[in-house]
Amino acid sequence: MNAYQPRTEDSAFLLLQVLDASQQLQELPPFAEVDAGLMQQVLEEAGKFVGDVVAPLNRSGDETGCRFEAGRVTTPAGFRPAYQAFWQAGWPALACAPEDGGQGLPAVLQAVLYEMLSAANHGWTMAPGLLHGAYECLRHHGSDALKQRYLPRIASGEWLATMCLTEAQAGSDLGLVRTRAVAQADGSFRLSGTKIFISGGEHDLSDNIVHLVLARLPDAPAGPKGLSLFLAPKFLPEGRRNPIFCERIEEKMGLHGSPTCVMRFDDATGWLVGEPHRGLNAMFVMMNAARLHVGLQGIGLLEAAWQKAQAYAQERRQMRAPGASSTSLIAEHPAIRRILDTQRAWIDGGRVLAYRTAIELDLARHHPDADRREHAQRWCSLVTPVLKAAFTQQAFGGASECLQVFGGHGYVREWGIEQIVRDARVTMIYEGTNEIQAIDLLVRKVLADGGAGLSALLQELALGLDGQQASQAGVLRRFDALRTQTAALVQASPARADLPYWVADDFLRALALALLGWAWTQIECRSAGQARPARWSGPARALALWVLPEFDMRLGIIQTQLTGNERSARA
């Protein structure tokens, strides 16, 4: 079965024509020269690298997996040369600042690059995928000395980075972290403790590994507000090996190309990043970008699954489709058509939302006007958890539907579709489980300001929609319903502290569907004159028929709990 191939024309259309990315970005001083032509060219080059170098390693990476022996981790054959080619070609530095050796391009191009990389080879992509968080974190919170020593090599990707957060007893609840940090006379710290689930904690892809480690100072208060962040490299500046040891790698359901390490810090040397006890704060700078990237992984994996299923459905013949006079391609059978078009509805709409979020990240960083920056920040803060949760769920569920297209062959490894299902499953868990995204959205983002931010965002998206067109009227109706229900939740929650936690998942789903509907109105506006109208009209129909009906169901579920009338639920 052929490997995934990036289709940059689709992404370019959504980015440049549906979202007007180049016009918006050219208003930002650092991107004044970034026109549509340049963006398209970058995407095509990226697609070529991804398709030629990274995608062919996906299947063998899953089959071989990473090997652990005596503290060393060997990645699958071809992974190191591909990574060396990747950083030497400048890809990790795409959106880094020129003063750090970066190319200074918009983050949205990096977003599309990582969507393609995840589609091509999720396991391999885990390693560079962690660079950008480390870069942002160090750039904003590192001391000058640390920055001078580490920032350029993280920006370039010459050295890879990790995030050492989780411990056996501290998963979603980082307040329970126990790793200790003790100050030394020379201004450094000694770190001791054991971290688990460390992606790329040890490997052979790069010559050094820079760990960012959450730990607790001796005088730290208990809980999450007693955590500090430290940088601790595998090799110290003088070349000595820092006592940071990989104890084992996990055997996992998938993602075999990425080593998930148990890391022991044995009085390892590190340096403080940011202020003492403000470690979580230092990490928040990268939270939205990191979660957006997981959402993009979901979209990429779903695209990879769709490509495989689509190719198979266009080649395999079984039974007659309704009305056909001889054995049909399975793509002509309604059940298969529905699966394929439904995934496209999620992928294309998801791209609009994810690319728009990446553009807003660029605006939040670089727009000259503070109001517009805050505005962009609001978008990111509200939409990012939705993207992370809804599109990773769809990646897993939708890839499983694509597997179904293959019948029994889907269950057999050689076709590669079951790998996507296994790989995709982890995206629902890491970077904050999807349940935690839902609580983050409803409790910390929506209810915290009495629903004002969400209401303003929806109002803004509603501008320019025309109530006469059915699909746009549908969006307006859903936005209104969401606003009404948000107001009811704002009112009811103070007296019922657990209510938001019971309905958070449904609220996130409802918002995801409302935004997806909006995204498709934007696609429909711009695709009307396109050469292949069926390319967009099939998925638009699938969206209306099979995806959006869930919205009312979700609102109904919330309503039942809001009214507290569970008796009505039964009838």
Which residues participate in catalysis according to the annotation?
431
What is the distance between the alpha carbons of residues 367 and 357, in angstroms, rounded to a whole number? 14
Q: Name which of residues 161 to 200 contact a second copy (CB under 8 A).
A: 166, 171-173, 175-176, 196-197
Q: How far is the CB of 487 from a second copy (least distance, A)?
A: 21
Q: Is the dihedral of CA 177, 179, 184, 186 positive or negative?
A: negative
Query: Can you give the C-alpha Rg of the chain in angstroms?
Result: 24
Query: What are the residues whose beta carbons fall under 8 Å from the beta carbon of 152, sequence distance 6 or more?
Result: 100, 101
Q: Does 407 bind a second copy (CB under 8 A)?
A: yes
Of 98, 411, 450, 484, the one binding a second copy by CB under 8 A: 411
Q: How far is the CB of 159 from a second copy (least distance, A)?
A: 25
3-state secondary structure of 249: strand
Of 400, 485, 486, 527, the one binding a second copy by CB under 8 A: 400
* Nearer to a second copy (CB atom), residue 463 or residue 571: 571
* Nearer to a second copy (CB atom), residue 134 or residue 442: 442
Of 141, 195, 333, 388, the one binding a second copy by CB under 8 A: 333
Q: Name which of residues 552 to 571 contact a second copy (CB under 8 A).
A: 552-553, 556-557, 560-561, 566-571
Q: Specify the residue for token string 């959450």.
A: 214
Q: What angle do the packed helices 122-129 and 131-141 form, to 10 degrees?
A: 10
Give the total of residues touching a second copy (CB under 8 A).
Answer: 82
Select the span of 8-16, 32-40, 102-110, 252-260 touching a second copy (CB under 8 A): 252-260
* Nearer to a second copy (CB atom), residue 59 or residue 373: 59
* Nearer to a second copy (CB atom), residue 196 or residue 383: 196
Judge contact between 440 and 432, C-beta under 8 A: yes
Of 187, 284, 545, 564, the one binding a second copy by CB under 8 A: 545
* Nearer to a second copy (CB atom), residue 135 or residue 197: 197
Select the span of 12-20, 45-53, 128-136, 326-334 touching a second copy (CB under 8 A): 326-334
What is the distance between the alpha carbons of residues 306 and 351, in angstroms, rounded to a whole number? 14
Q: Does 247 bind a second copy (CB under 8 A)?
A: no
Q: Does 367 bind a second copy (CB under 8 A)?
A: no
The helix (H) or strand (E) run that includes residue 210 is strand 209-216
Q: Which residues of 500-512 are buried (b: 16+ CB within 10 A; e: fewer)?
A: beebbbbbbbbbb
Q: Name which of residues 379 to 398 contact a second copy (CB under 8 A).
A: 396-397
What is the distance between the alpha carbons of residues 482 and 456, in angstroms, rounded to a whole number? 12
* Nearer to a second copy (CB atom), residue 237 or residue 323: 323
Q: Pick from 174, 162, 144, 231: which is nearest to 202 by CA?
A: 162
Q: How many CA atoms lie within 13 A of 219 on its CB side?
A: 2
Q: Does 534 bind a second copy (CB under 8 A)?
A: no
Q: How far is the CB of 16 from a second copy (least distance, A)?
A: 26
Judge contact between 138 and 147, C-beta under 8 A: yes
* Nearer to a second copy (CB atom), residue 235 or residue 546: 546
Of 85, 236, 456, 544, the one binding a second copy by CB under 8 A: 544
DSSP class per residue in 51-93? IIIIGGGHHHHHHH--EEETTEEEPPTTHHHHHHHHHHTT-TT
The residue type found at 498 is D
3-state secondary structure of 10: helix
Q: How far is the CB of 259 from a second copy (least distance, A)?
A: 13
Select the span of 24-32, 90-98, 109-117, 250-258 touching a second copy (CB under 8 A): 250-258
Q: Torsion-angle region of residue 3: left (phi > 0), alpha (psi -120 to 50) or beta? A: beta
